[in-house]
Every structure is written in C-alpha cells, then in structure tokens.
C-alpha cells in the first residue's frame, strides 16, 4: 500500500521493518478510489486529514477570480499532501486528480503519534516537505527565467526523475497521463504554444510521445536543454547517518 511512499522516504534514510509496517498500517486504514479529474481537496476547506497518493496522478492548483488556472505542482504516487496543513483554518489551494487515482486519508492524530514514536520517520517527513518546497522554488525559477522550450524540458526532467525515484519508469520511458492543457496550465503558456513546443522537443529528438507513454532517449541531453540540475531534489540520501542497521 505504502510501497512508493516508503521507497521515496528511503531516498533519505533507510527505515526499520517496524517503521515500514507502521506506515503501511496507517495508510491502509482508509483509502479512496477516485475517478479522473476529481477534486479531493478544495480551496477554502478546513484541512481534515493528510492524503497520500497511492496510485495515479494529481495536481495542486489555484484558480483566479476570472478563471485563469495555474497548476502549482504534480502529485505522483508516493507523494503526500499537506503533512502539517491541518493547523490552518482553510486550504489556500485545491487538489484534484488527473487520471483515476487511489489515495489514503490519514488522520492528523495518526501522523502525530507515528512521528512521536518513530523519530527517524519524523526526520524523513521533514526531508519530504523540504524537497516539496525545493520543487516549488524550482518552479518559480522555471516560470520566471526559462523560455517555453527550456521550461518544458525541465518539467519532463523533473517528472521523469521523480518517477524513477519511486520505481515508476522502465529504462527510458514512463507513463504520462497529462493533456497539453495540463502542461500549459503548469508551465504558464497557452495550449497552442505547448503543442508547438512539444513539436520542437520532438524535432530535437529530446522526447518521444506516443499515447500516454513518454520516452526520453537521452536524459542528459534533455537536462542540458532544460538547464536542469537535480540537486534540488535532494535524492542522494542526505539522512544516511540515520539509517537503520536492520536489513
């Protein structure tokens, strides 16, 4: 159940069998199956529980009064929404699925008691939110400084590498359930321009899109095109010194 989540946390520090079981149990208690394009957190809501993406993709987004919509981040399997958000009165953004998705809804108390009894887990969750913040910062750089071509290349790098970190790629390809409208709303460019930019990326041999499958023949080249530097994802086991010595 919590496989992807655990895999991700272990990019920071190895967890004990106990910790993994505790996580898995907490996550398996309440799960929900959602259809595509279904919101499960609404701006204005009082945050109730902490959601974990078990399978499928979701987006965080905000909508302006006049209807313009900006995607703020993609939530992939293993991603957690709003670990500490529950101390706020209301959500300042919404979260909705892209594809069909399965999510776990963990009550705040469970998370608190989990981190109280397992300090290493607590650190791993800290790390997790630090990485989320770093991703948001990188999006700001992406939107502010890169042109459409670089921006798109950068996004594909981020998504591919994040998926790879939880084992959802095979060699050079991954599933990509996004439409060009989604891509436009994430990158702050019009749908038409998304299309032309994708053409350019394909023309340059940097990506191959066939149906919902995305292939990246040469990740290094794509990274270069997007001025992408994976540092900000902090995937190099910064919490190594905390590793459990159990197998």
Partner DNA sequence: CGCTGTTTTGACTTCCCTCAAGCATGGTGG
Partner DNA sequence: CCACCATGCTTGAGGGAAGTCAAAACAGCG
Task: Give min distance, CB of 137 to DNA, in A.
Answer: 20
Contact 241, 141 (CB under 8 A): no
In the set 181, 204, 229, 231, which binds DNA (CB under 7 A)? 181
Question: In angstroms, rounded to a whole number, what is the distance separating the alpha carbons of residues 176 and 180?
Answer: 11
5 or 139: CB nearest its own copies: 139
- The number of residues that bind DNA (CB under 7 A) is 18
Pull the structure tokens for residue 163.
């998926």
Pull the structure tokens for residue 200.
């350019």
In the set 196, 218, 236, 240, which binds DNA (CB under 7 A)? 196
Site string for DNA, 202-231 (x = CB under 7 A): ---------x--------------------
In this structure, what are the phi and psi dihedrals at residue 107, rounded to the nearest 5 degrees? -65, 150
Site string for its own copies, 25-64 (x = CB under 8 A): -----------------------------------x-x-x
Which of DNA, its own copies, none is residue 72 near (CB under 5 to 8 Å by kind)?
its own copies
- The number of residues that bind its own copies (CB under 8 A) is 47
In this structure, what are the phi and psi dihedrals at residue 150, rounded to the nearest 5 degrees? -65, -40
Q: Is 198 in the site for DNA (CB under 7 A)?
A: yes
Number of neighbours of residue 82 by Cβ within 10 angstroms: 19
Per-residue b or e along 158-187, where b marks 16 or more CB atoms closer than 10 Å to that residue's CB: bbbbbbebbebbeeebbebebebebbbbbb
Question: According to CB under 7 A, which residues from 160 to 179 bind DNA?
Answer: 179
Question: According to CB under 8 A, which residues from 92 to 151 bind its own copies?
Answer: 92-93, 123, 126-127, 129-130, 132-134, 136-141, 143-146
63 or 204: CB nearest its own copies: 63
Question: In angstroms, rounded to a whole number, what is the distance separating the alpha carbons of residues 89 and 92?
Answer: 10
Stretch of residues binding DNA (CB under 7 A), selected from 128-136, 160-168, 197-205, 237-245: 197-205
106 or 189: CB nearest DNA: 189
Task: Give min distance, CB of 99 to DNA, in A.
Answer: 10
144 or 247: CB nearest DNA: 144
Q: Which residues bind DNA (CB under 7 A)?
A: 147-149, 179-181, 188-193, 195-199, 211
């Amino acid at each position: 159940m919590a496989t992807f989540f655990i895999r991700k946390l272990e990019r920071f520090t190895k967890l004990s069998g106990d910790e993994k079981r505790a996580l898995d149990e907490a996550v398996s208690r309440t799960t929900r199956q959602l259809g595509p394009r279904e919101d499960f957190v609404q701006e204005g809501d009082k945050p109730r529980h902490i959601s974990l993406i078990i399978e499928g993709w979701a987006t965080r987004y905000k909508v302006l009064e006049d209807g313009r919509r900006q995607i703020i981040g993609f939530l992939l399997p293993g991603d957690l929404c709003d670990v500490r958000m529950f101390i706020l009165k209301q959500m300042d953004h919404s979260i909705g699925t892209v594809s069909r998705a399965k999510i776990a809804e963990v009550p705040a108390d469970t998370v608190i008691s989990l981190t109280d009894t397992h300090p290493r887990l607590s650190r791993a969750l800290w790390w997790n939110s630090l990485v989320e913040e770093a991703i948001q910062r990188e999006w700001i750089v992406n939107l502010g400084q890169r042109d459409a071509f670089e921006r798109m290349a950068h996004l594909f790098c981020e998504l591919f590498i994040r998926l790879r970190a939880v084992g959802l790629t095979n060699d050079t390809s991954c599933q990509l359930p996004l439409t060009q409208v989604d891509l436009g709303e994430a990158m702050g460019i019009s749908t038409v321009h998304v299309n032309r930019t994708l053409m350019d990326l394909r023309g340059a041999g940097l990506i191959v899109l066939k149906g919902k499958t995305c292939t990246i023949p040469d990740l290094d080249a794509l990274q270069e095109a997007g001025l992408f530097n994976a540092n900000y994802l902090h995937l190099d086991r910064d919490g190594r010194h905390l590793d459990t010595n159990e197998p």
